[in-house]
Structure formats: structure tokens, C-alpha cells
Amino acid sequence: MPALDLLKELKAALIKEVEPEIKKMVDEQFSLKVATATLGVSEAANLLGVTEETVYCMVREKRLPHFYMGSISSRKPKIKFRLAALEQWMIDEEKRNMEI
């Protein structure tokens, strides 16, 4: 068997051996990133399919889960949203609308 073919076989065997563990690690990191991901107003508006003005209105009305980033003395703190919280809010809204 030529050396190149042997190396190709070894490479394939190694990939097959480590692939499940790498997939598991990537899935765990992805889940962690999604759980902690934050969005700004424009990103939240895009996710929800509404305008930024609608998002600001919903924040003022305390209809969306959000928090503020910035110092206490900041005149204009940034409004932030957790991706996971918005996704859960959408699920809850769907359920609530189905009950009406």
C-alpha cells in the first residue's frame, strides 16, 4: 500500500474517532453563546420583524424583556435584550394569543 493511501486512511480514521467529541464541544459552546447572547435595538427589531420604533415603544410599555447597559450617571444607556429571553417571550406570546 502506498504511503499516501495509508496516510489518507489514518486521517479518515482519526476524523471518525474525534468527530463526535468535537461536535459535542461545538454544540455546548453554541448553546452557551445563544444562552448569553445579547442584542441591540436594531437586532431585536429584526428578530421580531418590527421597526426599531416599535421596539422602543414596547420597551417603554415594559412589554419586552430588556435591560440597560451603561453607568448609572449615563444620560443614554443602551437598551439590550437577551436572545434567549426574546425567543421565550415569542413562544409565550404565541401561546397567550392561542388562548384568546
CA 100, CA 98: separation in Å to the nearest integer? 6
Cell 426599531, residue located: 52
- Listed by start position, the domains of the chain span 39-100
Which pLDDT belongs to residue 4?
Answer: 86
The pLDDT of residue 65 is 97
Task: Provide mean pLDDT across the span 6-31.
Answer: 91
**pLDDT band for position 1 (50/70/90)?**
low
Query: For residue 38, what are the β-bridge partners?
Result: 82
Higher pLDDT, 71 or 4: 4
The CA-based dihedral angle spanning residues 37, 71, 66, 52, taken in that order and rounded to the nearest 10 degrees = -90
What per-residue confidence (pLDDT) applies to 31?
84
Please write the tens of the pLDDT for every residue from 2-18.
888 889 999 999 999 99
Average pLDDT for the chain: 91
pLDDT of residue 67: 94
57-61, 66-70, 82-86, 96-100: least confidently modelled range: 96-100
